[in-house]
Amino acid sequence: MPSFRHEKRAWRQKFAAVAGVDEVGVGSWAGPVVAAAVIFPPEANESELAGINDSKRLTPASRERLCAMIVERALASAVGIVEVEEIDLLNVLAAALLAMRRAVEALPVRPQFLLIDGRGPSPVPGLPYLRLVGGDSDSVSIAAASIVAKVTRDKFMCHYDQRYPGYGFAEHKGYGTRKHLEALRQLGVSPIHRKSFSPVAALCEK
């Protein structure tokens, strides 16, 4: 289960504002990449934040409930969004970094240290940071960011399901499923599909 052990180490080093950062949507065929950043106060109690975990391990109802709790109890939280046009222009990994940077920069409290899920560079040069592979299962702050990002992106995809019916966006959230591929073949490419992704690009060529 995630804990505050990495946060506590940073707090002991006098970094009072430690932001957990995570993103969702990198592997999706459609829709934005969404990142979130969450700062808990140093006096935060793990027991009062029970249930926070990697968003992929939680039910949609649990994510919704925990997201509301996170926003209420965090010192600060924010999201960053990179739309499809930017993803196709940049590439998805650069888009993920940009989404994380936008989330960090949108925080109403300036972070002093970043805990970031996965490998790679920092999205915000100049800020001390630690990258953690599997961080959303290890750090409460990163897990909280994963939940906020996931809930935010899922709402976008449910909205797009109504705007572009037939693709099943509310169900698969834009990820590559058999139903999604069949819908693409029948309906063609929608405005929120990533044309730089190979399954979509192949249909665009046809």
96: Cβ contacts below 8 Å, ≥ 6 apart: 23, 26, 33, 35, 82
Lowest mean pLDDT among 55-59, 122-126, 128-132, 200-204: 200-204
User: Using an 8 Å Cβ cutoff, are 60 and 184 in contact?
Assistant: no
State the pLDDT confidence band at 180, using cuts at 50, 70 and 90: very high
201 or 63, which is more confident?
63
pLDDT over threshold 90, residue 80: yes
CATH number at residue 135: 3.30.420.10
User: ∠21-154-171 over CA atoms, to 5°?
Assistant: 140
pLDDT over threshold 70, residue 120: yes
Residue whose pair of structure tokens reads 């490998």 in the numeric block: 119
Number of domains in the chain: 1
Residue span of the structural domain in which 153 resides: 5-205
State the pLDDT confidence band at 45, using cuts at 50, 70 and 90: confident
pLDDT, tens digit, 9 for 90 and up, residues 81-107? 999 999 999 999 999 999 999 999 999
pLDDT over threshold 70, residue 34: yes
> Is the entire prediction scored with pTM above 0.75?
yes
186: Cβ contacts below 8 Å, ≥ 6 apart: 166
d(CA 70, CA 64): 10
State the pLDDT confidence band at 206, using cuts at 50, 70 and 90: low
**Which 8-state DSSP code applies to residue 45?**
-
Beta strand ranges found along the chain (DSSP E): 18-24, 33-39, 76-82, 113-117, 129-132
Cα–Cα distances (Å) from 27 to 13, 31, 194, in that order, read 36, 10, 10
Mean pLDDT of the chain: 96
Which residues are bridge partners to 79 per DSSP? Answer: 36
* Residue 115, H or E segment: strand 113-117
pLDDT score, position 68: 97
